[in-house]
Chain A
Amino acid sequence: SQQGEEDPQALSIQEGENATMNCSYKTSINNLQWYRQNSGRGLVHLILIRSNEREKHSGRLRVTLDTSKKSSSLLITASRAADTASYFCATDGGRDKLIFGTGTRLQVFP
């Protein structure tokens, strides 16, 4: 089964609001990454957080990692309609292969 499970499966918000997505995983990791996928497109790498890091920021993105709970969260602040996409967490599955979660589908309404 897949390593990561995202919650919620779908999220709808208004522009300007914050969006929070959560990811849980099952085994020990070296790092965890978040990707975005626009409808019908490939994946875009957003941010990587290593197992010894607790929080990381990149622009409007904030990622946290709690290795004791085997969970991570992605916060998008001041969301925009262009943030509408599916968001996936991915953990390292050995030999650098990625184990993806099921994704959160984010809809941002103007």
Chain B
Amino acid sequence: NAGVMQNPRHLVRRRGQEARLRCSPMKGHSHVYWYRQLPEEGLKFMVYLQKENIIDESGMPKERFSAEFPKEGPSILRIQQVVRGDSAAYFCASFPGGAGYNEQFFGPGTRLTVL
């Protein structure tokens, strides 16, 4: 059973370009979280998605950022018109859902560098 997959692992973009980050949750997991980690800091929550639904996007900037988790395929975090301040590691985590506590399983992250 493969773990959470993220790609690409490293992404370099110039200012103004678009960045698309992909996350494939563990098999059987229908809940995905995205977190951002700036250098030398902890992870900060961005968005929580279930299949075809955004449950909580309170941590995501209102402009330029969007996320989706379609019925088929990976979850996508999309950053339009990137700026240098978007340079960070972006992690997704998945869990199966259901009652009770669910441990989140983290992917290896995508490291975005904006030149």
Spell out A's residues near B (CB within 8 Å): 2, 4, 30-31, 35, 40-45, 48, 88, 90, 93, 95-103
- Interface Cβ pair total, 8 Å cutoff: 61
In the complex, what distance in Å separates the CA atom of A90 from the CA atom of B41? 13
A sample of 29 inter-chain contacts (CB < 8 A) reads A2-B44, A4-B42, A31-B101, A35-B106, A40-B111, A41-B108, A41-B109, A42-B91, A42-B106, A43-B43, A43-B106, A45-B103, A45-B104, A45-B105, A48-B101, A93-B45, A95-B55, A96-B31, A96-B95, A96-B104, A97-B45, A97-B48, A97-B56, A97-B59, A98-B43, A100-B42, A100-B44, A102-B41, A102-B42
Which single member of A31, A93, A95, A101 contacts B42 (CB below 8 Å)? A101
Spell out B's residues near A (CB within 8 Å): 4, 31, 33, 35, 41-45, 48, 55-56, 59, 91, 93, 95, 101-109, 111
